């Protein structure tokens, strides 16, 4: 027989009558009474309004289990409550024919066809199937698609039906509408967002616009995007504003001069960061440091998004580290990354060349020194996840970064070192490295933010030297110590920081850094638990920001002393 069914729920109540206790009289078949009593919120049944809400929730749950005709009647007078409940037979799917729904849309659903054949009639599963088909259509160029049941046939408690799919017009993207004063190239932004002329319409791309714009430091979305349809084309209007985020940062530091007692060593740092180069999202960063005598650091990084108008990003890095008169290390890194929403995957290669300095005094040594000439070529993969409420001075969210790499290491013989000292070591070997960083921001009130991070790394090889190891210490890792103060084969560094935000991007903070550092070389070993504490200020001025940090550090090599405190001052100009 062909039929439609109507679920009738009779609600008879005399208003909200509150009482501490009442007599409840259940009526109906025993099976129905047991189920209703088990699922209902018993304490609420004496309150008419609360009882109806609770019993309606029971009905919804029963319908999800196939009891489509389940119902109840609620009556109360001054002395008693009467609840009449009806369960009915559980309905089952006898057959659901996909009808004219394209197989590719049906197959993308998380609900399988077998879930709706010879199974309990689940309204939840059926609704999920319909919703999946419609969403997949919206993301495949058919935003006006609809699905309905057709040819419904009910025999006893078994339901058979066929799906009827109406695709609607096929829609493609036309173009992005941007404010006239925006200098960022439209073509690059279309490539970044995936919204290109002629590409099939996708609601998912529209929904991701806010998140994707939020990841760009130089753009802000001032209101949600709007979509208009005309001539089977969709035009996306995005109201964005450009921000000044390119920075130049100069820091002057005053440190105790370890070579001349009682005097100070003036150190310096220049940090240049250029964003949205050529108005196409590219970035260039240059960092130079000279934070102790005869030592220098140079970092150059270039980021090229949407390589050849694809979803792949390219990044190149060059790092040069001159460590006093010990060694000079050069690192070149190349990586390709693919980003989706908050997730990013990358593959990378890193080429390290490290050579000894001042080797004239090594002719008479009897063991290899702690540093040698070496070349290491790493190849690895990385993963990153970031969900922060904003890029600058975030107040809520978390982030994860991790990298794992394997490399071939070659130790080169140095002509100033006796050749026989290399006989007992393997000049060619495999080396591994692993790094991870976890961080979070938790907003505790209107102005108070709790920030925490934990990071760690390890480098694995049977023959490690100082110029193989990580460098820890300084303003961006373990505060209270000179930059790159420590060497580490294995390290863990945790930070807790309380921030008081008194303006949108300005805040005071107090911090505590705690680290574990270790290495075990052939001729020396090291283990320490250094920590740093201090206060700081980040003051946003509109055209830039002032950063002040005062820190004290303690380790086995450095006592906790005001005479060894570190004071960092910097002004970051934005343009």
Q: What is the pLDDT of residue 19?
A: 41
- Name the pLDDT band for 101 (thresholds 50, 70, 90): confident
Q: What is the pLDDT of residue 286?
A: 92
Q: What is the pLDDT of residue 130?
A: 85
The b/e string for 253-280 (b: 16+ C-beta within 10 A; e otherwise) is: bebbeeeeeeeebebebebebbbbeeeb
pLDDT digits (tens, 9 = 90+) for 43-74: 888 888 888 888 998 988 888 788 888 899 99
DSSP assignment of 228-274: EEETTEEEEE--EEE----EEEEEEEEEE-SSSTT-EEEEEEEEEEE
CA angle centred on 519, ends 516 and 523, rounded to 5°: 150
**Is 574:505 a contact under the CB 8 Å cutoff?**
no
CA angle centred on 166, ends 164 and 172, rounded to 5°: 150
Non-local CB neighbours of 277 within 8 Å, separated by 6+ positions: 283, 284
pLDDT digits (tens, 9 = 90+) for 155-176: 888 888 888 999 999 999 998 9
**Is 509:538 a contact under the CB 8 Å cutoff?**
yes
pLDDT digits (tens, 9 = 90+) for 108-122: 777 666 666 767 777
**Is 291:269 a contact under the CB 8 Å cutoff?**
yes
Mean pLDDT of 268-288: 88
172 in helix, strand or coil?
strand
The b/e string for 373-411 (b: 16+ C-beta within 10 A; e otherwise) is: bbbbbbebebebebebeeeebbbebbbbbebebebebeb
- Give the H or E element holding residue 317: strand 312-323
Among residues of the chain, what percentage have pLDDT more than 90?
A: 44
pLDDT digits (tens, 9 = 90+) for 24-45: 889 888 888 888 888 888 888 8
Work out the widest C-alpha separation in the chain, in whole angstroms. 107
Please identify, in words, the CATH class of the domain defined by 172-242.
Answer: alpha beta
Structure-token match 């060619």, residue found = 428
**Helices (runs of H) and strands (runs of E) counted in the chain:** 7, 32
Q: What is the pLDDT of residue 114?
A: 64
Q: What is the pLDDT of residue 115?
A: 62
- Domain assignments of the chain as residue spans, ordered by start: 10-86, 92-166, 172-242, 308-574
Q: What is the pLDDT of residue 256?
A: 65
Q: Identify the architecture of domain 92-166 in CATH.
A: Roll (3.10)
Q: Is the per-residue pLDDT at 359 higher than 80? A: no
- The Cα–Cα gap between 50 and 40 comes to 11
Q: What is the pLDDT of residue 4?
A: 32
Q: What is the pLDDT of residue 8?
A: 31
CA angle centred on 102, ends 99 and 106, rounded to 5°: 85
- Name the pLDDT band for 9 (thresholds 50, 70, 90): very low
Non-local CB neighbours of 341 within 8 Å, separated by 6+ positions: 208, 211, 212
Among residues of the chain, what percentage have pLDDT more than 70?
A: 90
- Name the pLDDT band for 17 (thresholds 50, 70, 90): very low
Mean pLDDT of 221-237: 91
Q: In angstroms, what CA-CA distances link 58 with 14, 61, 516?
A: 21, 5, 55
- Name the pLDDT band for 443 (thresholds 50, 70, 90): very high
Q: What is the pLDDT of residue 465?
A: 93
- The Cα–Cα gap between 425 and 484 comes to 28
Q: What is the pLDDT of residue 418?
A: 87
Are 92-166 and 172-242 in the same CATH fold? yes
pLDDT digits (tens, 9 = 90+) for 298-352: 999 999 999 988 889 999 999 999 887 888 999 999 999 998 878 999 999 999 9
Average pLDDT of the chain, as a whole number: 86
Q: What is the pLDDT of residue 148?
A: 86
- The Cα–Cα gap between 407 and 430 comes to 6
Non-local CB neighbours of 533 within 8 Å, separated by 6+ positions: 480, 511, 512, 513, 551, 552
Non-local CB neighbours of 462 within 8 Å, separated by 6+ positions: 426, 429
Q: Is the per-residue pLDDT at 77 higher than 90? A: no
Pairing of strands 158-166, 172-177: unpaired
Q: Domain 308-574 adopts which CATH fold?
A: Porin (2.40.160)
- The Cα–Cα gap between 18 and 432 comes to 70
Mean pLDDT of 356-373: 82
116 in helix, strand or coil?
helix
**Is 438:453 a contact under the CB 8 Å cutoff?**
yes
- Name the pLDDT band for 264 (thresholds 50, 70, 90): low
- Name the pLDDT band for 15 (thresholds 50, 70, 90): very low
pLDDT digits (tens, 9 = 90+) for 120-158: 777 777 788 888 889 999 999 999 999 888 888 888 888
- Give the H or E element holding residue 441: strand 428-443
**Is 501:483 a contact under the CB 8 Å cutoff?**
no
pLDDT digits (tens, 9 = 90+) for 496-554: 999 999 988 899 999 999 999 999 998 889 999 999 999 999 988 877 778 889 999 99
Q: What is the pLDDT of residue 12?
A: 33
Q: What is the pLDDT of residue 255?
A: 63
Q: What is the pLDDT of residue 439?
A: 96
Non-local CB neighbours of 315 within 8 Å, separated by 6+ positions: 301, 302, 303, 304, 333, 334, 335, 337
Q: Which backbone phi and psi does 124 adopt, to 5 degrees?
A: -65, -45
pLDDT digits (tens, 9 = 90+) for 375-408: 999 999 999 999 998 888 899 999 999 999 999 9
Q: What is the pLDDT of residue 266?
A: 64
């Amino acid at each position: 027989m062909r039929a439609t069914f109507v679920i009738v729920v009779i609600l008879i109540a005399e208003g909200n009558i509150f009482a501490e206790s009442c007599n409840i009289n259940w009526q109906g078949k025993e099976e129905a009474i047991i189920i209703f009593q088990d699922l209902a919120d018993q304490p609420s049944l004496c309150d008419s309004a609360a009882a109806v809400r609770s019993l309606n929730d029971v009905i919804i749950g029963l319908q999800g289990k196939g009891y489509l005709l389940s119902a109840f009647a609620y009556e109360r007078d001054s002395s008693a409550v009467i609840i009449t409940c009806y369960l009915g037979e559980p309905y089952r799917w006898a057959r659901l024919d996909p009808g004219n729904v394209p197989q590719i849309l049906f197959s993308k659903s998380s609900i399988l066809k077998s879930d709706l054949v010879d199974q309990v009639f689940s309204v939840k599963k059926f609704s999920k199937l319909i919703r999946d088909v419609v969403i997949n259509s919206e993301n495949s160029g058919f935003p006006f698609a609809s699905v309905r049941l057709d040819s419904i046939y009910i025999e006893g408690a078994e339901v058979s039906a066929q799906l009827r799919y109406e695709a609607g017009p096929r829609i493609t993207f036309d173009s992005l509408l941007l404010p006239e004063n925006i200098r960022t190239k439209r073509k690059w932004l279309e490539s970044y967002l995936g919204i290109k002329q002629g590409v099939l319409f996708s609601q998912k791309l529209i929904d991701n616009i806010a998140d994707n714009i939020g990841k760009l430091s130089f753009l802000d979305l001032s209101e949600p995007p709007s979509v208009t349809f005309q001539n089977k084309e969709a035009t996306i209007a995005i109201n964005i504003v450009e921000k000044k985020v390119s920075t130049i940062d100069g820091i002057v530091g005053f440190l105790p001069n370890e070579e001349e007692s009682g005097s100070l060593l003036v150190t310096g740092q220049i940090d240049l960061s250029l964003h949205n180069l050529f108005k196409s999202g590219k970035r260039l960063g240059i960092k130079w440091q000279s934070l102790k005598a005869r030592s220098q650091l140079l970092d150059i990084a270039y980021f090229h998004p949407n390589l050849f108008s694809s979803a792949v990003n390219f990044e190149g890095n060059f790092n040069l580290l001159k460590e006093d008169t010990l060694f000079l290390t050069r690192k070149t890194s190349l990586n390709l990354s693919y980003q989706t929403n908050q997730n990013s995957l990358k593959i990378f290669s890193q080429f390290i060349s490290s050579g000894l300095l001042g080797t004239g005094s090594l002719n008479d040594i009897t063991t290899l020194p702690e540093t040698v000439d070496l070349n290491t070529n790493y190849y690895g993969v990385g993963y990153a996840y970031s969900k922060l409420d904003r890029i600058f001075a975030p107040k809520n969210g978390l982030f994860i970064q991790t990298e794992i790499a394997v490399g071939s290491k070659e130790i080169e013989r140095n002509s100033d070192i006796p050749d026989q000292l290399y006989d007992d070591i393997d000049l060619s070997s495999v080396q591994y490295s692993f790094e991870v960083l976890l961080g979070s921001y938790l907003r505790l009130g209107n102005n108070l933010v709790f920030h925490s991070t934990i990071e760690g790394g390890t480098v694995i090889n049977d023959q490690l030297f100082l110029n193989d190891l990580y460098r820890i210490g300084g303003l961006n890792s373990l505060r209270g110590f000179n930059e790159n103060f420590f060497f580490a084969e294995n390290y863990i560094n945790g930070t807790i920081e309380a921030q008081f935000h008194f303006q949108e991007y300005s805040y005071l903070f107090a911090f505590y850094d705690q680290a574990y550092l270790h290495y075990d070389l052939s001729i020396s070993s090291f283990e320490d638990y250094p920590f740093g504490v201090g206060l700081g200020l980040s003051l946003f001025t509109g055209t830039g920001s002032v950063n002040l940090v005062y820190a004290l550090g303690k380790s086995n090599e450095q006592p906790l002393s005001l005479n060894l405190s570190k004071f960092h001052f910097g002004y970051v100009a934005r343009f």
